[in-house]
Structure 1
Amino acid sequence: MHHSVSAVLLSLFLTGEGAALAQSPASTVGLSIRRVELVSDDAQPAVEVAVSPGLSTVFLFDSEVSREGLMLEGRERFAMVDAGLTTLRLIPSEKISAGERLKLTVRFQDGAAPASATFVLVAHPARSEAQVEVYRRKRSVETYQEEVRQARIEAEKCREENERLRGERGAPDGLTGLISTKVLSGRGVDFRDVTKDVTQGPAGAAASHTVNAYRAARRVAVEVALMSRGNDQPWTAVGATLRGKANEELKVLQVWQSGPVAPGSDTQRVVVEAEAASEAPQGSFTLKLWDADGRRTVTLGNVTFP
């Protein structure tokens, strides 16, 4: 179902016309494979590792570790702590708070230096480092070659992203811009009011009033009208994720908010725009929004696209 009014509205959202705030989601580095090399003296600083509720972080060690020597601060905040001889899998629960910093110490069995390794687990509302490889001995040439290969892949992704941004920056505003960048690609914009279907997580920083979903040829967008829960501090979304039931994640391109959500203020609109595959995203997604320090979030479940 195509709506010309929806196309005009979406063009306003994506170009940011009349926006009080225009922001891009905060980036988090090192979300795939992280490699840590330990030194043999006590000068090794604690390595920070991003973790997130419901997402798995796996540590791989090149030396056997002691299960009895594992020390994890705030262990009750984790839904899973699975320690093997050379692996450690952690899944934080919803009890962990964004921005919380928990100390993790592992001890090696052979008694050689370094005898232990210390990490600081930093809780993020939606981002985690999936795999952390910890090297106590000298790394092989193959691991360096793999690291170079991954760096080249990331550099190519950055190059493609820069080309996309330059192309869109040079495009005209409004509906003409959507046509010129092939966001519409002859199909228009599909619209769906999903307010009644969406569920909201408890203790959110703001309450949702209405939720609308949009889909074009190459983009999807979620528009959320938010109102204050009576908190004293104004709230502004700076980052977002759209994650499916199979843990697949859409690439968020930008987060736009009409103004801070604050007591006594009008309802404010937040629009999250993401890339869509050639086919429409299937199933329901969970939208998570967070503010600058990541401590106050808004989580909406069962978001579906037309």
Structure 2
Amino acid sequence: MLVLLAGTVARAQATAREPRQRTVTVTGNPAEPPHEVHVSDETPSVFLFGSEIRKKSVRVDTTRIRVVDTGEQSRLLMVQAVNPLGEGERHELEVEFADGKTPARAVFALVAHPSDVDAFVTVARQQPVTPACPAEVRAAVRAPEDLLLLGYMGESGVPTAEIPQETDDAQGLESARGVAYRGKGWLMFQVAIRNLRGPQPWVPTEATLTSKTGEKLRGRVVREEQGETPPGEAVRVLVVTEEPPAGAGRVFILEVSGADGRTLAIPRVTIPAPTKKEPKR
């Protein structure tokens, strides 16, 4: 790794861009913009992750960004622009961690900078908060005004839309009518999913949102109750994602998958329209 880093920095020094070494922390908060990483076609950028990543999960526009493979699972990833990036050109790089812990993925915005390039980026993950005792949990409950103060809601509020009921007998799963929410930079879907198949329990672990145009958003699954859902019982599931690109439309397929491989697909989920841009004060 030291040889690789030394070679990377040496090549960067031969270009007009000054090489940088940085450390960024991934929080998993969909409302936060991705970390910008300065890349170039002259110098590769090396990412060193604090834990193993799934190399097959790497998503980027390979016509513009070259990915150097370093094995099935690794903590190291190297990328480089295929050609010089234009002014304002951005490419999203997304990877998933292999251990399944939160945050489950990391997203970066790859851009060009006229004077520097990120030759080496150390990626840390924000550690989850240690579970507190019941009294501490009550004390940590957010007040309604925190939605505004923390930037999760604008002055126009949080628009909602209804999610239709869906039953899949083949998968042994069904959902009741739910609600879709849209805030500043985030979407959230609330559905109650019932496990119809016995004696198999079901634990929701992953969620994906797919638009008619093929745009995919990976969601973070939050369960009201931990543990397996017995046959005949329902579990309240929250799926949180970032806002989709403007061209993706508003109709999506919401898929919620369990640890046993069973998936419930809700085919026509309409997300709320974005709120109007608020006037500057």
TM-score of the superposed pair, with normalisation by structure 1: 0.42
TM-score of the superposed pair, with normalisation by structure 2: 0.45
**Which structure carries more helix by proportion?**
1
**Which structure carries more strand by proportion?**
2
